[in-house]
Amino acid sequence: MSAGRPDDRAPDLGLRPATAADAPVLCALATQVFLDTYATEGIRPAMAREVEQHFSTSAWLAELARPEVRIEVVERAGHLVAFSQLLLGERHPLVGNAPAAELSRLYVQAPFQRRGVGRLLLDRAEAVARSEGFATLWLTAWVGNARALAFYRRQRYRELGSTDYEFENERFENRLFARSLSEPRPLHNSPRAG
């Protein structure tokens, strides 16, 4: 696969809605990407408990059963390499009162980053939110994840401020980004997308 423009995706990548059969693979993929991103100094008990609570197979089965959740996966030769999780109707004070959806996760396995996979998932999340009648898509990105921050800025998402992700008395500052789904986005971006 070319590391060029996002439209240079390899024909062997497929995008589809997740199913219950994907839950064990989502568990492993989400855990891997989460720890690669957030556990840069090693893994503490609080981090391990956070992973177990949110990324277990049973947690994914529960998420897949929620009617307001849309999970899309990217696969290659039967292997999941990335996924996104969209929460329809999710509000945040920084976003305002417009009908909004939250892109709560966009996780791409490291070997597939910078190949347009993130852009593929983001395009799909925007299309799904728009088709469900939502005017705004918003998300948060950890301030320590420079690649994600740069990616959303390139996609013309506006930074609206800071918000914290908290668990077990630990706080992680995030930047909140939003985009009106009626605004056009550039068709091509730099090779560093997603």
Q: How is the chain split into domains, by residue range?
A: 68-180
Q: Residue 151's closest CA among 104, 126, 115, 183?
A: 115
Contact 1, 10 (CB under 8 A): yes
**Cα–Cα dist 30/74, whole Å:** 13
Provide the CATH number for the domain formed by 68-180 in this structure: 3.40.630.30
Give me 56's structure tokens.
């277990």
Q: Give the single-character DSSP code of 77.
A: T
Q: How far apart are the first and last CA of the chain?
A: 14
Question: Does the predicted model carry a pTM greater than 0.75?
Answer: yes
Whole-number pLDDT of residue 172: 75
pLDDT of residue 167: 73
CA distance 106 to 72: 9
Cβ-count burial 14-47 (b if 16+ within 10 Å, e if not):
ebeebeeebbebbbebbbebbbebbeeeeeeeeb
Q: What is the pLDDT of residue 66?
A: 97
Residue 9 has pLDDT above 90, yes or no: no
Reported as a pLDDT band with limits 50, 70 and 90, residue 154 is very high
Q: What's the 3-state SS for 93-145?
A: CCCCCCCEEEEEEEEECHHHCCCCHHHHHHHHHHHHHHHCCCCEEEEEEECCC
For residue 12, name the pLDDT band (cuts at 50, 70, 90).
confident
Q: What is the mean pLDDT of residues 93-115?
A: 93
Task: Kindly state the tokens that stand for 103.
Answer: 């892109």
Q: 88 pairs with which residues across the strands? A: 101
Other beta carbons within 10 angstroms of residue 55's beta carbon come to 20
